[in-house]
Amino acid sequence: MSKDYYKILGVEKTASQDEIKKAFRKKAHKYHPDKKDGDEKKFKEANEAYQNLFDEKKRAQYDRFGSSGSQMGGFGSGQDQGFSGFDFSQFQQGGNHGFDFGDIDLGDIFGGGFGGRRTQKRGNDLQVHINLTFNESIFGVKKTINIDHNKICDDCGGTGAEKGSELEVCIECGGSGKVQQRMMGIFATVTDCPTCNGKGKIPKKRCKKCRGAGIVREKDTVEFQIPAGINNGDTLRISNKGEAISGGVAGDLFVQISVSPDKRFGRHGYDLTLNQEVTVSEAILGSKREIILPDSSKLDIKIPAGTQSGTVLRVSGKGINTGKIKGNLMVKINIHIPKKLSRNAKEALEVLQSEGY
């Protein structure tokens, strides 16, 4: 059965060579088998269509006889020509050895490594967990932790070479930092050279401390500032304090925060909350109460006469202060009802009761 190569690539029969190149690039990017949602069958079909439409002689023959013509190549002919019109094995970084790719960017399709486009390598992130007191979380605090991680070698500065020793071109990759690996027997992809880790150079004499790796496994002390107002469950990111990697940048250190509750104070956003118990007479007649704040300072609050149980009094600006934001102190009034009364107190209440209070 004849295949419609134009339909496979999604182009018109009058499409130019440039349009065919762009169409194949789009299909290859979408269906490449190494991609998560790739489709090997459709990738091969697109390649077959590209081979036969990009070559002007094959295209003319296809237009006349269709894909079932006796001279047609590709995957549908019973002759496995692989990627004969798109031979990745021809290429080394820095040149295409006479083959015209047009604007087909292999680095875009395969994730980098062709034509000098490189994605900088990055080490793994690390995560630690620390506990804070309530006061530490609302005022902020400087913390120091010890971690065990890969870090750049201090002796060689990450080059892997002994002090005074020079670097030489890597023989395996010829200094490009990249080598080809054939995948599935039909196409090749380019990866970092395992000998030089993508650097293109290796030390003539290896550093004694890191043995040429450029990184060492060591315990390290990390000091950092916890900002005022941090919440339970928040995570801080400390850049470049994760795992170092040869030829790349270090990952990040993530610090997960747990905050121990306070016996007296709670928080809602940047507001501090406090439950304050008062007597019946204080609620009826009004009074003042002294409150000791988390920073040990004292504050007098006025309880208005006739305050109802559950009333929330707001003291502006006495909550969490981040330097940019000032929260409030929210005091919830709870009226204490005594279970036992003296004779005088009981008689006084009976008078109130008789008068309708």
Give 185's contacts (C-beta < 8 A, 6+ positions apart): none
Please, what CATH class does the domain formed by 120-158+213-260 belong to? mainly beta
CB 255 within 8 A of CB 130: yes
Name the pTM for this structure.
Answer: 0.59
Give 100's contacts (C-beta < 8 A, 6+ positions apart): none
Nearest to 235 by CA among 123, 125, 151: 125
pLDDT score at 211 = 87
Amino acid making up residue 17: Q
- The reply to whether 120-158+213-260 shares the fold of 5-86 is no
- Each domain of the chain, given as residue ranges in start order, spans 5-86, 120-158+213-260, 265-354
CB 21 within 8 A of CB 47: no
Q: What is the CATH number of domain 5-86?
A: 1.10.287.110
- State the chain's mean pLDDT as an integer: 82
**Dist. CA 72–CA 82, nearest whole Å:** 14
- Name the token pair of 29: 């990017």
Tens of pLDDT along the chain (357 residues) come to: 568 888 999 999 888 888 888 888 888 878 877 666 778 888 888 888 888 888 888 888 888 777 555 344 443 433 343 343 444 333 333 333 333 334 444 444 444 444 444 457 889 999 999 999 999 999 999 999 999 999 999 888 888 888 878 888 888 888 888 887 765 555 567 788 888 877 888 888 888 898 888 889 999 999 999 999 999 999 999 999 999 988 788 999 999 999 999 999 999 999 999 999 999 999 999 999 999 999 999 999 999 999 999 999 999 999 999 999 999 999 999 999 998 989 998 888 889 889 888
CATH architecture of residue range(s) 265-354:
Sandwich (2.60)
The model's pLDDT over 2-54, given as tens digits with 9 standing for 90+, comes to 688 889 999 998 888 888 888 888 888 788 776 667 788 888 888 888 888 88
